[in-house]
Amino acid sequence: MEASSSSSSVIMAAASSSSSSSSCFACCFRFIKLRRKRCLERVADVTSTSATSITASRSQGEEAQRKQGLHQNHPRQFSWDELERFSSNFSRVVGSGGFSTVYLSQFPDSSLGAIKMIHGATSSQRLHRVFKQELDILLRLRHDNIVKLLGYSDHPEESILVFEYVPNGNLQDKLHTAKTRRGGKTGAGADGDEEEEEESGLSWNSRIKIAFQLAQALEYLHHKCPLQIVHGDIKASNILLDRHLNCKLCDFGSAKMGFASSVLPPFSSSSSAMSSSSSSRMMLGSPGYADPHYLRTGIASKKNDVYSFGVILLQLITGREALCSRTGHKLTSIAAPALRDPSKLPQLLDPRLLRGDDPELLEQVKVMASISAMCLCDSPALRPSASDILNAIATNIPSFPFPSSYYYSSSSS
């Protein structure tokens, strides 16, 4: 009996001990499980916070890149809503052409831009092709004297190009519509130099600078682009001027890529010229600027641009339009006798440039006139290249403060 009682006591003690151990293990398991749950919740919180932070940071970075892209060499595609917002619903027109309207825009960083809306590009295959061609060329260009492309939009209704805003109008306006006035400047900050510039339209030094910079832009297009480019429509209204009167060449709607391209003549007296394919063909150049050799043969080349550059030089010298709207006479015909006989040049010189007897100015005018005469040669083979033009200006007008970068690039090329 005693042994049995003792055995029962042992069994009960063991059972009690086992029960106590099980209870202890259960408590430990629940504690570990609760601790693990809280740990997982903290990890989830940290992960969620990190993901939110990363997303916000990425979003801010993308927005910064979008804003930064406007002023670096990264044109981007704009949405229609953005363009409407930036242009205040296209409310301020700053320019217009045959198939386009240009609107002023203001970006979030307060900088200004010019939105060129090409009308009918989505409904006309020819205009849409011109838009695509111009966009393709502009995306390849990076030069200080070529207007900068900030972005574009190929909207179903309208095709749009977005450029930097160039605030000082164009060469056509400066030469031919500038109002001459004396003492017209008022208010603080108006000094004598600005007043003289306003009175004369453009000083002679400013005209030399514009000619030199335009030649630099042509040299870049003709010789320094991987696929050499013919602009095809060099004229005074396509030369924009910034606040410091630096040249910005624009409008590449007529441009062609490649060393040279042969096309059918733009006009013909034959009946076949009246076909739909011929009537849709675009002519290179504008009246008064177009290369007669191109008009006769239909052969488009870099020397078409050089001819037009020669006309620009004549405009800078004479202050006259390339084609007289009143008489229909071309400036090249009017200036031909003076180009053959430099002693007649003073008769053609823009009266706004005359400041008494100035031998240095007259010598520089003769240099520019001789370069113009070479550019206007009937045979394209006899016309200088853009590089030749730059060297001729820099060599024969050494007193002009040409940029040091030009001499560096010339010596290293």
Neighbouring C-beta atoms of residue 204, cutoff 10 Å: 22
Rounded CA-CA distance 208/204 in Å is 6
- From 81, 144, 233, 242, the catalytic residue: 233
DSSP per-residue letters across 291-348: -HHHHHH-EEEHHHHHHHHHHHHHHHHH---SB-TTT--BHHHHHHHHHH-GGGHHHH
Name the CA dihedral angle for 371, 377, 383, 388, rounded to a multiple of 10 degrees.
0
Rounded CA-CA distance 66/45 in Å is 31
Residue pair 244/296 in contact by the 8 Å Cβ criterion: no
Checking DSSP bridges between strand 76-77 and strand 247-249, what pairing results, if any? unpaired
Give catalytic status of residue 233 as yes or no: yes
Closest CA to 228 of 166, 304, 290, 152: 304
Question: Distances in Å between the alpha carbon of 379 and those of 231, 330, 386?
Answer: 19, 19, 16
- Give φ, ψ of 33 to 5 degrees: -65, -45
Closest CA to 386 of 157, 166, 224: 224
- Give φ, ψ of 64 to 5 degrees: -65, -40
| DSSP, res 107 | -
- List residues bridging with 151 in a β-sheet: 76, 162
DSSP per-residue letters across 189-204: T--HHHHHHHHHSS-H
Identify the residue whose tokens are 């202890």. Answer: 24
DSSP per-residue letters across 30-63: HHHHHHHHHHHHHHHHHHHHHHHHHHHHHHHHHH
Identify the residue whose tokens are 């939105």. Answer: 115
Residues identified as active-site? 233
